Structure 1
Amino acid sequence: MEFCENCGKVLIPKNNKVKCSCGYEKKLSSEDIETQYTFKGEAIPENEVIVKTDNNVTLPTKKITCYKCGGKKGYWWTVQTRSADEAPTYFIRCAKCGNTWRQSN
C-alpha cells in the first residue's frame, strides 16, 4: 500500500501509477502492483452438508405443555418486538407438532 509523501493519504493505483489530490504522483512498476495491490483470498474447498431430517433444530429447549398436541418439549428464542427499554418477546415452538406461540413478560 502506498501513502502520499506530502499529505499521508492512501493512494490507489490507476493506470500503473498513483496520484494524490495534493499533486503527488508516482509511477508504479508491475512488481510494486503485484506485491502491494494484489490480494489473494484463502481457497477453502466446498464442504457438502447432508441433511437427513427436518428435525435439526439448534435452538435451546425447555419443558412445556403444548396446548394443541400436549407435547412436553419446546424450542424457544427471543425477539425485541417493542422498544429497547421494554422486555423482549419470547417465542416457543412445540418440538412435536411445530405449533408456535409467543409469551410477553
Structure 2
Amino acid sequence: MEFCPTCGMLLQYALPHLDRPARFFCPTCPYVCHIESKVKIKRRQRLVKKVIEPIFSKDDMKNGPTTEATCPNCGFGKAVFQQIQIRSADEPMSTFYWCLNEKCGHQWRED
C-alpha cells in the first residue's frame, strides 16, 4: 500500500497502456508515480536456518513422570511427559512427550 505524499490519500494502481508505463496515481490530487517495468535485484542473501532449542532437555525429561502414551514414531507404549502452559490461561496446557524406547527417543507434543 502506498500513500500520496501530498494529501495522504491511498494511491490507486493504473495498468500500463500503449507507451505509458504502469503507475500509481492519487484520485484527489495530480500526484503520479511511474513504476519501472524491470526490477533489479542487487544481491542475493542466503537464509540460514536458526537452530531451535528444545523446550525441555533430556535431563529435564529423565526425571519426569511416565505414562502409557503410544509413540507415533515407533509405537512403543511408554513415554515421559511434562506439561506447560504456553498459550493464554483459558487454553489447555500443552503436554510434551519423550519416548522411552532407547532406539527411538522421539519427542512430540499434544495441545
Instruction: Indicate whether the TM-score tops 0.5.
Output: no
**TM-score, normalisation: structure 1:** 0.38
Name the structure with the higher strand share: 1
